Amino acid sequence: MLRPDGSRGFYDSVVAQPAVTVLAVDNHRQVAVTRQWICVHGEPQWRLPAGRVDDLDETTQAAAQRELAEETGIHANDWHVLGSINCADSLTNHRDHAFLAMGLTSGGERKLEPGESDLVLHWLPVEQVIDMVLAGQLPHAGSTFAVLVAKVQGLL
């Protein structure tokens, strides 16, 4: 690797597909939150619906719409871009694109991947989800980012 000062060195890194995270809020100010075993952390965790951007996804929003439907069976009529976050700059190029989804319709068929068989959908009040972020109980970077951005922008 060539450093900015012109010197050469080695740098370990992981190249990863971009991801999406969806903050889905219904008309009663309830948030769709999932709980599932996260293999790389070796424990179950709370997080918003999220997943990788597939090669067939035309846009990050299309990926967000697909992930929300696959994990929860929910579709949304109103989408807002919240922004994106670099998840671990010293290790990977991984970038998570966050969206707010409203105007929700539920009842669609979930299409869970084999590693998501234990994924459980919960509906939690907005205020509780914000408290979870502040208490470190929603450690997924994209989830925390989405909640905090939406709160600061007055969308929650």
pLDDT in tens, 78-113: 999 999 988 776 666 678 999 999 999 988 889 988
In a domain, 13, yes or no: no
101 falls within a domain: yes
Q: How distant is the alpha carbon of residue 102 from its chain centre?
A: 15
At 68, give phi and psi (nearest 5°): -60, -45
Domain-embedded: residue 7: no
Please report, as a single letter, which amino acid is at residue 114.
P
Looking at the domain assignment, is residue 144 inside a domain?
A: yes
Q: In the numeric block, which tokens belong to residue 106?
A: 């539920």
**5: in domain:** no
Among the listed residues 47, 53, 107, the one whose alpha carbon sits nearest the alpha carbon of residue 84: 53
Structural domain includes residue 133: yes
Q: What is the 3-state secondary structure (H, E, C) of 47-114?
A: ECCEEECCCCCCCHHHHHHHHHHHHHCCEEEEEEEEEEEECCCCCECCEEEEEEEEEEECCCCCCCCH
- Does 84 reside within a domain? yes
Domain that holds residue 101: 19-152
Q: How far apart are CA 62 and CA 81, in angstroms?
A: 12
Which pLDDT does position 117 carry in this prediction? 85
pLDDT for the residue 39? 84
Counted domains in the chain: 1
Q: Would you say residue 69 has pLDDT above 90?
A: yes
Whether the pLDDT of residue 114 is over 70: the answer is: yes
Residue 129 sits in a domain whose CATH number is 3.90.79.10
Position 116 confidence tier, pLDDT thresholds 50, 70, 90: confident
The answer to whether residue 10 is domain-embedded is no
